[in-house]
Amino acid sequence: MAKVTEGRLGILAGTGELPWIAARNALRAGEDIRILPFTSDPWPEDLADFCRPVVLTRFFRSVIKTMQEENVRRLLLLGKARRDILYRNPSFDLRSIWLLLRSASQSDTSLFLRLAQELEKRGITIVEQPLYLREFFLEPGRYGRRLSGRELRDVLFALKYARTINALDVGQAVVCGQRAILAIECAEGTDACIVRGGELFQKKGAVVCKVAKKEHDLRFDMPVVGASTLFSMLSSGCRVLAIEAGRTFVVEPDRFRKQAREAGITILALDPEATDERELQRMNRFFYGKG
């Protein structure tokens, strides 16, 4: 468990389970926390007393003001934030508009870095996302059946393109079949990308690959997979999920592995530094992940 440091911890909470899991882990570690939900999702009853809702598009008048009122000195960014929050009837305060205009672009990385600068000016530090979620990584290995030669070739092909689009700050995931890229994740999110690509392959068992950037800033936007990922794969006929061990959060790992096994989906948790053809063949022959 992480060591508690000085200053109240805030959790800016989007959709999904990770913000609430991290909050419970932080409380067990002795943290003094405030959770700042910015979605309409219901709060867990056991954490409701720690919640202070905010409006993300009013970053200065709502988010920063609330953190200052609650004496938050460190901040975790966790959970999904739909990109259309910027486009669907947004209600920005003037300083948030100014922040957007001064960002190098409207890409996720550019916006995150700009937000971090504004928070640092006010004595608030964004901390690394794995701080209270380190048990949500898979050990390197193959979880599930041995892959065919075609699937191995598709994994290698998909990795190359997934890393390229992520370096361009476009998205984190691609869907591949017979060494053709069928779908690239953009603003619509991973699940929609999976469904689109898998159905194009006529449910013949496409490969999904989701990766972090080469030198990923652990404070922001780490890849996440969970039950919805598996559901999207199953519904569209995808049969292989390749992720990076230690760089991709897996929501409820034990349950995730069980659900994948029952769905006939093989998970490859790859060493980011060793993903050449020889290593993949070795993993496919011998290397079962633990659990």
Strand partners, 250: 225
Q: What CATH fold (topology level) applies to the domain 8-132? A: Rossmann fold (3.40.50)
Tens-digit pLDDT profile for residues 196-238: 999 999 989 999 999 998 888 999 989 999 999 999 999 999 9
Phi, psi at residue 273, to the nearest 5°? -95, 0
Domain 137-286 has CATH 3.40.50.10140: no
This prediction's pTM: 0.87
Q: How far is CA 230 from the centre of its chain?
A: 15
Alpha-carbon dihedral of residues 189, 190, 194, 200, nearest 10 degrees?
Answer: 40
Residue 105: the pLDDT is: 53
- Is 3 exposed, middle or buried, given 0-12, 13-18 or 19+ CB atoms closer than 10 A? exposed
Written in H, E and C, the secondary structure of the chain is CCCCCCCEEEEEECECCHHHHHHHHHHHCCCCEEEEECCCCCCCHHHHHHECCCCCCCHHHHHHHHHHHCCEEEEEEECECCHHHHCCCCCCCHHHHHHHHHCCCCCHHHHHHHHHHHHHHCCCEECCHHHHCHHHCCCCEEECCCCCHHHHHHHHHHHHHHHHHHHCCCCCEEEECCCCEEEECCCCCHHHHHHHHHHHCCCCCCEEEECCCCCCCCCCCCCEECHHHHHHHHHHCCCEEEEECCCCEECCHHHHHHHHHHHCCEEEEECCCCCCHHHHHHHHHHCECCC
Domain(s) of CATH 3.40.140.80: residues in the chain = 137-286
Q: Which residues of the chain have pLDDT under 50?
A: 1-4
Residue 107: the pLDDT is: 64
d(CA 123, CA 10): 13
**Pick from 212, 261, 148, 46: which is nearest to 253 by CA?**
261
Write the single-letter amino acid at 281: Q
Q: How far is CA 231 from the centre of its chain?
A: 17
Residue 95: the pLDDT is: 60
Domain(s) of CATH 3.40.50.20: residues in the chain = 8-132
